[in-house]
Amino acid sequence: MARGIGQYIVIRGLMIIPTILILYTIVFIFLRILPGNPVLAVVGTKNISPEQLQHLMEMAGLDKPLYVQYFDYLWKMLHGDFGVTLAFPMGKPVVEYLKLRFPATLELTIFGFTVSVLLGLLTGTIAATKKGTKIDTGMRLYSIIAYTLFIPWFGMMLQYVFGIHFHVLPTSGRIDPGIELQRITGLYVLDSILTGNWEAFTSAIRHLILPATTLGIVLSGAYTRLVRNNMVDVLSQDFIRSYYARGVRDWKVTWYALKNAFIPVVTLMGLQFAILLGGAVLTETTFNWPGMGTFIVDRIDYRDYNAIQGAVVFFAFFVGLISLIVDIVYALLDPRVKY
Amino acid sequence: MKSKVLSLALLAIFVFSVVASGCIGGEKTTTQTGGAGYAEQIVIGVTDKVTDLDPANAYDFYTWEVLNNIMEGLVKYKPGTLEIEPALAESWEVNEDSTVWTFHLRKDLKFADGTPLKAQDVVRSIERVMTIQGDPSWLVTDFVEKVEAKDDYTVVFYLKQPTSYFLALLTTPPYFPVHPSYSPNEIQSDQTAGGAGPYKIAKWVRDEELVLEANPNYYGEPPKTKRIIIKFYRDASTMRLALQNGEIDIAWRTLRPTDIESLKSEGKYSVIEVPGGFIRYVCLNTKAEPTNNVKVRQALAAAIDRQEISNKVFKGTVEPLYSLIPNGMWSHIDAFKEKYGDGNIELAKKLLKEAGYDENNPLMIQLWYTPTHYGDTEADLAQVLKEQWERTGVIKVDIKSAEWGTYVDYARKGQMQVYLLGWYPDYLDPDDYTTPFLKSTANSWAGTGYANPTVDELLTKAQSLTDQNERTKLYEQVQKILAEEVPYIPLIQGKLFVVTSPDVKGVTIGPDMIFKYSTIYKEKS
Distance from CA of B228 to the nearest CA of A (A): 9
Helix (H) or strand (E) holding B115: none
**Contact of B44 with B230, CB cutoff 8 Å:** yes
Residue B13 pLDDT > 50: no
Note the pLDDT tens digit of each residue in B392-402: 999 999 999 98
- Model confidence at B75, pLDDT cuts 50, 70, 90, reads very high
- 3-state DSSP assignment of residue B372: coil
Chain A, window 236-265: residues with a beta carbon less than 8 angstroms from a chain B beta carbon: 250-251
Question: Please, is B125 exposed, middle or buried when counting C-beta atoms within 10 Å of its C-beta (0-12, 13-18, 19+)?
Answer: buried
- First-to-last alpha carbon distance for chain A, in angstroms, is 9
Q: Look at residue A339 in the predicted model and tell me its pLDDT.
A: 52
- 3-state DSSP assignment of residue B220: coil
Nearest chain B alpha carbon to A128? B3
Chain B, window 389-428: residues with a beta carbon less than 8 angstroms from a chain A beta carbon: 402-412, 421, 423
- Model confidence at B518, pLDDT cuts 50, 70, 90, reads very high
- Measure CA B298 to chain center: 28
R_g (Cα) of chain B, nearest Å: 26
Distance from CA of B105 to the nearest CA of A (A): 33
d(CA B279, CA B374): 11
Find the angle CA(B467)-CA(B469)-CA(B474) to the nearest 5 degrees: 95
Mutate to test the interface with B, among A37, A39, A47, A191 (most CBs of B within 10 A): A47
d(CA A262, CA A124): 11
A181 touching B, CB under 8 A?
no
**Contact of B236 with B254, CB cutoff 8 Å:** yes
Residue B228 pLDDT > 60: yes
Chain B, window 188-217: residues with a beta carbon less than 8 angstroms from a chain A beta carbon: 189-190, 203, 205-209, 211
B245 touching A, CB under 8 A?
yes
Higher pLDDT, B512 or A117: A117
Q: For the beta carbon of residue A137, count every other beta carbon within 10 angstroms.
A: 12
Q: How many CB pairs under 8 A join A and B?
A: 198
Q: Report the percent of chain A where pLDDT is more than 90.
A: 32
Distance from CA of A8 to the nearest CA of B (A): 39
DSSP B488: E
Question: Please, is B194 exposed, middle or buried when counting C-beta atoms within 10 Å of its C-beta (0-12, 13-18, 19+)?
Answer: buried
Nearest chain A alpha carbon to B371? A301
CB contact under 8 A, A285 and B209: no
Q: Look at residue B136 in the predicted model and tell me its pLDDT.
A: 86
Note the pLDDT tens digit of each residue in B408-462: 888 988 999 999 999 988 888 899 999 999 999 888 889 999 999 999 999 999 9
Higher pLDDT, B6 or B256: B256
Q: Look at residue A168 in the predicted model and tell me its pLDDT.
A: 92
d(CA B137, CA B36): 41
Residues 6+ apart with CB under 8 A from A225: A124, A140, A143
Find the angle CA(B95)-CA(B99)-CA(B104) to the nearest 5 degrees: 60
Averaged pLDDT, B166-185:
94
CB contact under 8 A, B206 and A302: no
What is the biggest distance separating any 2 CA atoms in chain B, rounded to whole angstroms? 96
d(CA B257, CA B272): 13
Question: Please, is A304 exposed, middle or buried when counting C-beta atoms within 10 Å of its C-beta (0-12, 13-18, 19+)?
Answer: buried
CA B78 vs CA B106, B278, B495: distances in Å: 18, 20, 20
- Model confidence at A47, pLDDT cuts 50, 70, 90, reads low
What is the biggest distance separating any 2 CA atoms in chain A, rounded to whole angstroms? 88
Distance from CA of B391 to the nearest CA of A (A): 31
A190 touching B, CB under 8 A?
no
d(CA A228, CA A128): 5
Q: Who among B18, B52, B446 is closest to A88 (CB)? A: B52
d(CA A98, CA A96): 5
- Average pLDDT of chain A is 85
CB contact under 8 A, A297 and B234: yes
- Model confidence at A203, pLDDT cuts 50, 70, 90, reads very high
Closest C-alpha to B217, from B126, B318, B88: B88
Return the top range by mean pLDDT from A51-55, B34-38, B479-483. Answer: B479-483
Closest C-alpha to B65, from B371, B276, B222, B373: B276
Closest C-alpha to A158, from A147, A148, A168: A168
A120 touching B, CB under 8 A?
no
What dihedral do alpha carbons B448, B452, B458, B462 form, nearest 10°? 20
- Measure CA A222 to chain center: 16
Residue B22 pLDDT > 50: no
Q: For the beta carbon of residue B142, count every other beta carbon within 10 angstroms.
A: 14
Contacts of B413 in chain A (CB under 8 A): none
DSSP B292: T
Task: List residues bridging with B204 in a β-sheet.
Answer: B210
Closest C-alpha to B406, from A33, A88, A128, A213: A33
- Measure CA B350 to chain center: 38
Note the pLDDT tens digit of each residue in B185-215: 888 888 999 999 999 999 998 888 999 999 9
- Model confidence at B513, pLDDT cuts 50, 70, 90, reads confident
Contacts of B64 in chain A (CB under 8 A): none
Q: Look at residue B12 in the predicted model and tell me its pLDDT.
A: 45
Task: List residues bridging with B522 in a β-sheet.
Answer: B504
Closest C-alpha to B525, from B249, B272, B336, B294: B249
Averaged pLDDT, B143-159:
95
**Contact of B131 with B184, CB cutoff 8 Å:** yes
Phi, psi (degrees; rounded to nearest 5) at B243: -65, -45
- Model confidence at A1, pLDDT cuts 50, 70, 90, reads very low
Residues 6+ apart with CB under 8 A from B308: B343, B384, B388
Distance from CA of A20 to the nearest CA of B (A): 27
Nearest chain A alpha carbon to B20? A206
CA A186 vs CA A96, A103, B127: distances in Å: 12, 5, 40
**Contact of A54 with A63, CB cutoff 8 Å:** yes
- Model confidence at A40, pLDDT cuts 50, 70, 90, reads confident
Mutate to test the interface with A, among B8, B13, B450 (most CBs of A within 10 A): B13
Residues 6+ apart with CB under 8 A from B340: B298, B301, B302, B347, B483
Q: Look at residue B38 in the predicted model and tell me its pLDDT.
A: 86
B246 touching A, CB under 8 A?
yes
- 3-state DSSP assignment of residue B143: coil
Higher pLDDT, B57 or A257: B57
B183 touching A, CB under 8 A?
no
B357 touching A, CB under 8 A?
no
B29 touching A, CB under 8 A?
yes
- 3-state DSSP assignment of residue B323: coil
R_g (Cα) of chain A, nearest Å: 24
- 3-state DSSP assignment of residue B114: coil
Q: Look at residue B180 in the predicted model and tell me its pLDDT.
A: 96
Residue B1 pLDDT > 60: no
Quote ipTM for the complex.
Answer: 0.83
- Model confidence at B160, pLDDT cuts 50, 70, 90, reads very high
Q: Who among A38, A88, A202 is closest to B189 (CB)? A: A88
Residue B26 pLDDT > 70: no
Residue B356 pLDDT > 90: yes
DSSP B223: P
**Contact of A101 with A291, CB cutoff 8 Å:** yes
Contacts of B32 in chain A (CB under 8 A): 178
Q: Look at residue B115 in the predicted model and tell me its pLDDT.
A: 96
Mutate to test the interface with B, among A33, A40, A252 (most CBs of B within 10 A): A40
* Lowest-confidence pick of A74-88, A244-258, A306-320: A244-258
- Average pLDDT of chain B is 89
